[in-house]
Structure 1
Amino acid sequence: MASCGPYQTIKRKHVTIPLSAGHVHITDFNIAAETRENGIASSLSGTKPYMAPEIFNTALGEADGYSYPVDWWALGVTIFELLKKRRPFVIHGDTGAQETLHVLMNTNVHFPSSASDNMNDLLRQLLLVDPKQRTQSAAEVKSHPAMAAVDFDSVQAKKIKPLFVPSVSTCSLTCGRITINYCSVDERYGMNNCNNA
């Protein structure tokens, strides 16, 4: 029997801030992987620039599958992108699996100089190529020194006043013919949500 596995689509575009609320939401769960009984997934799905190396290893027949560490990789790519306004790896939707894997394995990532040493250390932990060495859980992220000032219980209970609360005048976007009733983090960070994956 299969069960819900990795989310597989954590990326900047799916991090949203509802209007007048200011609390971050993750959206679009449509491609969460189904896992086998052993907790392993094997489908090739997601957005390539955010996909972990083990997904491509699986697609190329070099691994038997992957699990939740792929989401921690995608979180690392997303945080990096929010800090530096670009992704850590130059990969496009039409980049082949073998070439993508080569880029992921061989890129010397230059971490954001504007970020603290602790934040860059967290990014390094999230972007480790070996999924067994990579961050494995929310508890690990929460206990990392980069997160020391965050009161996660208060954040979850929405007791923390957001630093940015979008309004219709600042975040009413129209992508094609659809008006979006939330602000994406793209608007907050000056990125174009309508044209980027």
Structure 2
Amino acid sequence: MKRRKKRTRSPEEDPAGRKKFCEGDQQNTRTQKKRSRSPEKNPAEGRKSKKTREDAKRTLSFDINNYSAMAELGKGSFGRVILASYDINDQLVAVKVIQKKQEKDLRYVRREAKILQIAGGCPFLCRAFATFQTESLILFAMEYINGGTMDKLIKRQGQLDTNQILFYSAELIVGLEFLHTNGIVHRDLKPENILMDEEGHVKIGDFGLARTNIFSPETCRGYYGTPGYIAPEVLLDQQHNSGADWWSFGVILYEMATGYLPFYQDDTTKEKEAIKNTINGQPEYPKCLGAELCDLIQQLLRKNANERLGVYAKVRDHPFYSSTNWVEVEKRALVPPVKPLIRSVKGLSKNDNPFTEDNAGVIRILKNFDYVDPSWQ
């Protein structure tokens, strides 16, 4: 019988060879694709491009020539606060201008700048978009809040009703809790430092006297604040912590409800007498306060800070706030009870340029100071 000649298969026909051929074919294809990849699709190049754009934004934010001064909003020993337009996006900002030569201890400047950066995490605190410097100036570019202050609202109305007190105090509580959770004690809480935005929500501002890294049981010391709002332990030059802020909060509640301070009987009360009343006396509680509000204020104005509401228990858990939806408060979702009066500002004179460099001053460059909020612009 004639033997049949065994047929030799080509690699294309041989299953093993076919598999090998396909693998090689796919590998060649992948190699070709890899070689033909354009630079734009390279992840490393994309990350580099994004970083370049972010660096460009930072550079623009730190250039004082990109800010056009429009009006003066405030002035004090610290320097000036100027209403300016950030020309890159035409946004109005409040720029705090500090002369380096007038600030002996720049630790306070660094501290305030850091707090303004942290404040961006809470809607009820004034925040900074950027903090930067020139050779002679330190500048904080902050959000412009133009709805006036709590002080002006109280003076305009005389007394706030219960619904107004509930609304404003609830937002203040969220703001204070955020500060204290981050180890910050304000130390100068008062109606003048409670700003209102154009919608009517509150913003706690002016952190120039604040202390950082005060986590319980840590304390600080020093006579700081405004007479009438200062806690007894501060007046006595004792160690204090967040309890001092809750005392000031209690004073503000009293003032909201009555139109006057608890330890200043009238405008003729002398400061020494008011200090004595704060340390040793008890305020009168008019019937207009209501039982729950009266009890809340009494617990906030306890002389012993360790027995003060806000220190031993949360203020938001007091019965006065039993009807408050704290989730809605924290979302800034509640409708403000008062539409604020948008304040007008007086423009600067032609020869007044608050951003002018003082070349005669001593040049001090603060390291690791410049900052810009990533979400800005």
Give TM-score scaled by structure 1 length. 0.72
User: How is 1:134-153 mapped onto 2 (pairs within 5 angstroms)?
Assistant: 134-137=308-311, 140-153=314-327
Provide the C-alpha distance between the structure 2 equivalents of 1:89 and 1:9, rounded to a whole number of angstroms. Answer: 17
Tell whether the 8 Å contact from 2:263 to 2:274 is kept in structure 1 after alignment. Answer: no
Tell whether the 8 Å contact from 1:5 to 1:67 is kept in structure 2 after alignment. Answer: no
Tell whether the 8 Å contact from 2:227 to 2:275 is kept in structure 1 after alignment. Answer: no
For structure 2, the residue ranges without an aligned partner over 5 or more in a row are 1-110, 112-181, 349-377
Task: Report the 3-state secondary structure (helix = DSSP H, G, I; strand = E; otherwise coil) of the residue aligned with 1:49.
Answer: coil
Provide the C-alpha distance between the structure 2 equivalents of 1:166 and 1:138, rounded to a whole number of angstroms. Answer: 35
Which residue among 287, 291, 316 is the counterpart of 1:117? 291
Provide the C-alpha distance between the structure 1 equivalents of 2:323 and 2:304, rounded to a whole number of angstroms. Answer: 28
Deviation of 1:33 (Å): 2.6
Aligned amino acid, residue 271 of structure 2:
T
Tell whether the 8 Å contact from 2:254 to 2:261 is kept in structure 1 after alignment. Answer: yes
Deviation of 1:95 (Å): 2.8
After the TM superposition, list the runs of 4 or more consecutive aligned residues in structure 1 that deviate by more than 4 angstroms: 34-38, 91-94
Deviation of 1:125 (Å): 0.5
Deviation of 1:115 (Å): 1.9
Establish whether residue 79 from structure 1 lines up as the match of residue 257 from structure 2. no
> Could you say which residue in structure 2 is the equivalent of 1:191?
none
Deviation of 1:136 (Å): 2.7
Q: Looking at CA atoms only, which structure, 1 or 2, has the larger radius of gyration?
A: 2
> Could you say which residue in structure 2 is the equivalent of 1:69?
243
Aligned amino acid, residue 302 of structure 2:
L
Tell whether the 8 Å contact from 1:9 to 1:47 is kept in structure 2 after alignment. Answer: yes
Aligned amino acid, residue 233 of structure 2:
E
> Could you say which residue in structure 2 is the equivalent of 1:31?
209
Provide the C-alpha distance between the structure 2 equivalents of 1:132 and 1:114, rounded to a whole number of angstroms. Answer: 28
Over the aligned positions, Cα root-mean-square deviation in angstroms equals 3.0
> Could you say which residue in structure 2 is the equivalent of 1:189?
none
> Could you say which residue in structure 1 is the equivalent of 2:225?
46
Provide the C-alpha distance between the structure 1 equivalents of 2:347 and 2:220, rounded to a whole number of angstroms. Answer: 33
> Could you say which residue in structure 1 is the equivalent of 2:276?
102
Deviation of 1:12 (Å): 1.1
Residue 36 to residue 134, structure 1, CA distance change in 2 (3 Å): closer
Alignment deviations for residues 122-172 of structure 1 (CA, whole Å, 9 cap, x no partner): 00000001111111359621100001111121012111111112243xxx2
Aligned amino acid, residue 321 of structure 2:
M
Provide the C-alpha distance between the structure 2 equivalents of 1:25 and 1:88, rounded to a whole number of angstroms. Answer: 24
Aligned amino acid, residue 8 of structure 1:
R
Residue 41 to residue 178, structure 1, CA distance change in 2 (3 Å): farther
Deviation of 1:101 (Å): 4.3
Give TM-score scaled by structure 2 length. 0.40
Between 1:71-80 and 1:87-96, the stretch displaced more is 87-96
> Could you say which residue in structure 2 is the equivalent of 1:183?
none
Between 1:81-90 and 1:131-140, the stretch displaced more is 131-140
Task: Report the 3-state secondary structure (helix = DSSP H, G, I; strand = E; otherwise coil) of the residue aligned with 1:72.
Answer: helix
For structure 1, the residue ranges without an aligned partner over 5 or more in a row are 180-197
Task: Report the 3-state secondary structure (helix = DSSP H, G, I; strand = E; otherwise coil) of the residue aligned with 1:48.
Answer: coil
